[in-house]
Amino acid sequence: MINTFKVTLLSCTMLLLPFFSTSVWSEEVLVFSAPPLESRAAGLRVYEPVAQYLSKITGKKVIYQQPGNWPKYTSHMRNNEYDIVFDGAQFVSWRIKHLKHRPAVKVPGEQVFVFAGKKTNLRIKQVSDLIAKKVCGMAPPNLGTLHLYDLLDNPMRQPTLITVSSWQAGYQAMLDGKCDAVILPLATYRELDPAKAVTRPIYVSRPASGQAITVGPRISRQDFNKIRTALLDKKGQAALSNLRARFSASPLIAADPAEYHDVYSLLETSYGFDAYASQ
């Protein structure tokens, strides 16, 4: 005769096994992510080699998670669901302040943005002249656009942002009269109008440190040191080769938290991050 108690117990165990397996496995999995600036396939090409390399270094499973869109990315970030992240200074600074992340390595150099208008447009000479005007730029939380909202923080006295798909598209739209000014990285501005022949710079932002990889609090100090050291060596730079081809002409270098100490304030003008502004 079949022992119904044993059958019932076995059935319950089988039902619970996936739960326990998932729980134990999740403790060993570290999530690596980055902004949704490219398709999933392109994201895998850029970031999956880094995740695989960090798996070898830490002895833990590191997976790359493509967020799909900006709302998901910022929501997961605010909920502290990412253990390792590569993105811009505003996010790096915010995670250092609010989520106890530590910056490991960064893209060399600084991020500086320029607001520029056509030289023939004599109505636009300073930032305050942009109130109620059209400005071409990337959608927030792009760092350049955050500078604009930081300077003109009164919702009743702001320009209208005309979102563009690329810096070059924004520049051309400004030249075509579709907007009164454009927000550009300084390096891009110098490439597009090196002699300032057709444009006039209206504002140049303060420098911010380059994009960085940060490591969250679920990763021990020992593993953080392993990650930083490994990413700086030759094998690490090789694992970062696709990322460097996308974002940096030079090898990544060690990052210092002090370089990002106040950039978070720019991000806290954005929806979803504004709740942290007083913390």
- Predicted pLDDT at 197: 95
Q: Place 235 in a pLDDT band, splitting at 50, 70 and 90.
A: very high
* pLDDT surpassing 60 at residue 236: yes
- Residue 31's DSSP bridge partners are 63
Q: What's the DSSP call for residue 56?
A: H
* pLDDT surpassing 80 at residue 204: yes
d(CA 211, CA 73): 16
The token duo for 63 is: 């997976």
- Predicted pLDDT at 155: 85
SS3 198: coil
pLDDT (tens digit, 9 = 90+) per residue, 60-99?
Answer: 999 999 999 999 999 999 999 999 999 999 999 999 999 9
In sequence order, what are the residues at sequence separation of 6 or more whose Cβ sits closer than 8 angstroms to the Cβ of residue 206? 112
CA angle 26, 27, 30 (to 5 degrees): 75
Type of residue found at 48 = E
Whether the CB-CB separation of 202 and 115 falls below 8 Å is answered with yes
Output the CA–CA distances (angstroms, integers) from residue 205 to 43, 208, 229, in the order listed. 29, 9, 32
What value does the mean pLDDT take over residues 260-267?
A: 93
d(CA 206, CA 188): 16
pTM over 0.95: no
Same fold, 26-108+209-276 and 113-205: yes
pLDDT (tens digit, 9 = 90+) per residue, 114-163?
Answer: 999 999 999 999 999 999 999 999 999 999 999 999 999 888 899 999 99
Question: Of 186, 191, 244, 170, which is closest to residue 213 (Cα–Cα)?
Answer: 244
Architecture of domain 113-205: 3-Layer(aba) Sandwich (3.40)
pLDDT (tens digit, 9 = 90+) per residue, 16-48?
Answer: 444 333 333 345 799 999 999 999 999 999 999
Third-level CATH fold of 26-108+209-276: D-Maltodextrin-Binding Protein; domain 2 (3.40.190)
* Sequence ranges of the domains in the chain: 26-108+209-276, 113-205
Cis amide leading into 159 (omega within 30): no
Question: Of 243, 181, 236, 189, which is closest to residue 212 (Cα–Cα)?
Answer: 243
CA atoms within 13 A on the CB side of 269: 20
